[in-house]
Amino acid sequence: MSLDLAAIRAAHERIRPHIVRTPVLTNGALDAATGGTLFFKCENLQQIGAFKARGAANAIFALTDAEAARGVATHSSGNHAAAVARAARLRGIPAYIVMPANSAKSKIRNVEREGGRITFCEPNDRARQETCDRLIATTSAMMVHPFNDYRVMAGQGTAALELLEDYPDLDLILCPVGGGGLLCGTAVAAKTLRPGIRVVATEPAGADDAARSFRAGRITPAEKVDTIADGLRTTVGPLNFPLIQQHVDEVVTVSEAGIISAMRLLWEELKTPIEPSCAVPYAAIMEGRVRVAGLRTGIILTGGNVDLDALPWAAKSAR
C-alpha cells in the first residue's frame, strides 16, 4: 500500500458521511498585513474539533468486519485519540487510547465524551508506544497509528482535496508538521492536482525534527522537545518521511513567541478558536520564514481544542 490521489479520493468517498466539509475563511486585514491572499481551511470546525477526524474515520471504516470486531487502539496527545474514539463509536467497536499524562484537559474530555477507554502514560514517545503495545497484546485490537499509516494519511489528505476543489488556483499551501500524516496527505493531493504549487511545512523550533530530517536526508529526532504546540511534539514517521522528501518543497521553523502571537491574532481576526499547533503556519508568515506577498496561499487550520483556562497570553499576563 502507498499514498496517491486515488487513495485520497477513495478516502473522501468513504468518510463523507462522517465528517464536515469545513468552510474556508478569508480576511481582508490579514491579506493587507501580509500582502497576499490567504485562504484558511477551518479544520478547527471539524468533528472533534480537528482534522484528525478524517484520517481516523478512513482507517477505521476501511477495516474488514473481522478486523473491526477486535476493536482499535492508538496513542495520541489528544486530537487523534478523540478522532479514533469517535470513529470507533460510530462503527460500534471499542477504542483503547493511550494518552500522555500531561495532555490538555480539553482533549482528555473529548476522548471521554466519545467513549474512548483511556490509559495514561509518561509524556514521551517510548512510553506511548510501549503502553500501546501492551494494550494491543492484551486486547488484540487493531492499531490505528496517528500518522505512520497510509490509510490515515489518505484521510488527512481530503482536507487539501476540498480546499483545492474550492480554490484550484492556489500558489502555495502551508501546513504544520508533527508526525507528518496531514503533511503527506496535503502534499500528495496538492502536487498531483496542481504540480506547480509549493507545499511548505512549518513546525516549532522547539520540536524541529522535520526540519533537521529534511536537511539531513534521514530521520533525525529533535535534541530536546519543548513547545506549546502539543500536537507537533512527535517525530516524523518512517512511512511519512520519504513522501515528505518527494513532495514537500521546504520545512521552516518558528519561535514559541511567534506561535503565541499568531494564535492570538488569528483568534482576534478570524473570530474562531484555534490551538497552538494550528497557529504555526501563520507564525511562519509573521516571522518572515515564508513569503506570501502576491501569492494565493492556503493554510490548514488544524484544530481548535484548547483549555480556555490556560490560554498562553492569559498565562503570560498572570505572571
To 10 degrees, what angle do helices 5-15 and 181-193 make? Answer: 110
What pTM, to 2 d.p., does this model score?
Answer: 0.94
Tens digits of per-residue pLDDT, 255-287? 999 999 999 999 999 999 999 999 999 999 999
Catalogue the E-assigned strands of the chain: 24-25, 37-42, 72-75, 95-100, 117-121, 142-143, 172-176, 198-204, 250-254, 296-301
Give the ranges where 3-104 is alpha helix by DSSP (H).
Answer: 5-15, 28-34, 52-61, 65-68, 79-91
List all residues 6 or more positions away from 277 whose beta carbon is below 8 Å from its beta carbon: 176, 178, 229, 230, 231, 232, 302, 303
285: nearest Cα among 299, 272, 275: 299
Domains and CATH numbers, the chain: 5-51+149-318 (3.40.50.1100), 53-143 (3.40.50.1100)
pLDDT of the chain, 319 residues: tens digit per residue: 789 999 999 999 999 999 999 999 999 999 999 999 999 999 999 989 999 999 999 999 999 999 999 999 999 988 999 999 999 999 999 999 999 998 888 889 989 999 999 999 998 888 999 999 999 999 999 999 999 999 999 999 999 999 999 999 999 999 999 999 999 999 999 999 999 999 999 999 999 999 999 999 999 999 899 999 988 998 999 999 999 999 999 999 999 999 999 999 999 999 999 999 999 999 999 999 999 999 999 999 999 988 777 788 775 544 4
95: nearest Cα among 109, 79, 81: 81
End-to-end CA distance of the chain: 51
